[in-house]
Chains A and B, each alone.
Chain A
Amino acid sequence: DGGITQSPKYLFRKEGQNVTLSCEQNLNHDAMYWYRQDPGQGLRLIYYSQIVNDFQKGDIAEGYSVSREKKESFPLTVTSAQKNPTAFYLCASSLRIWGDNQPQHFGDGTRLSIL
């Protein structure tokens, strides 16, 4: 079945450490996104990408980095510069980045905590 796979499901980060969250999709979607969700809140956009080798900052990009070397993969690195990384991270994709009737498809998320 087509879908989005995020790994790991749970991740722990030590002080000063960078960690990378994986996101893979086999839906042949052009657009991919990373969101952060804090308890009791909606989703906030970290980064998005509409094509291979291109990505743009979202609303809360500071302390995060991404790459898009392959169409199906969009890993997110939480760097040591992100001082409050504890949150639930969701990866999403959509057929294209524009067009108002295309829903985003989401992965199951990664829960990141600080040790």
Chain B
Amino acid sequence: AQKITQTQPGMFVQEKEAVTLDCTYDTSDQSYGLFWYKQPSSGEMIFLIYQGSYDEQNATEGRYSLNFQKARKSANLVISASQLGDSAMYFCAMRELMKTSYDKVIFGPGTSLSVIP
């Protein structure tokens, strides 16, 4: 069963506008972490932002913020003041605490964001 859903395969945003990338997840664990990564066309994965399941405040990192709604199991990424360099694939990921010593990280299918001048 897919545990991370990103319903927007592709998104367009005007330069300098804000954009929200959706992510919903499925877990029965109480303790977990949510991550967003950016993957430019060159291929490397760049860590953007983290939200812990017990964090009461939404995470923010510069122009990135995470709209965390625990009851709805959603962790949407908000990018403010979009720039041309924001054009990339964006992946939502979840880290579940396993019963073994390994925390499994599950990635969503990604959303392709294109910033229009």
Contact = CB atoms under 8 A, between A and B. Distances in A.
Contacts of B43: 88, 90, 108-109, 111
A103 B44 contact: no
Nearest to B95: A100
Interface residues on A, range: 20 to 34
B50 A42 contact: no
A50 B109 contact: no
Interface string A30-60: 0000000000111111001010000010000
Chain B contact patch, size range = 20 to 34
A92 interface: yes
Given A42-B107, A56-B102, A98-B103, 10 more contacts: A40-B9, A42-B4, A42-B108, A42-B109, A98-B102, A100-B52, A100-B95, A101-B52, A103-B50, A104-B45
B47 interface: yes
Interface of B: 4, 9, 31-33, 35, 37, 42-47, 50, 52-53, 91, 95, 97, 101-105, 107-110
A90 B49 CA distance: 20
Contacts of A43: 45, 91, 107
Contact of B101 (A42, A92, A98, A109): A98
Contact of B102 (A48, A88, A100, A103): A48
B47 A100 contact: no
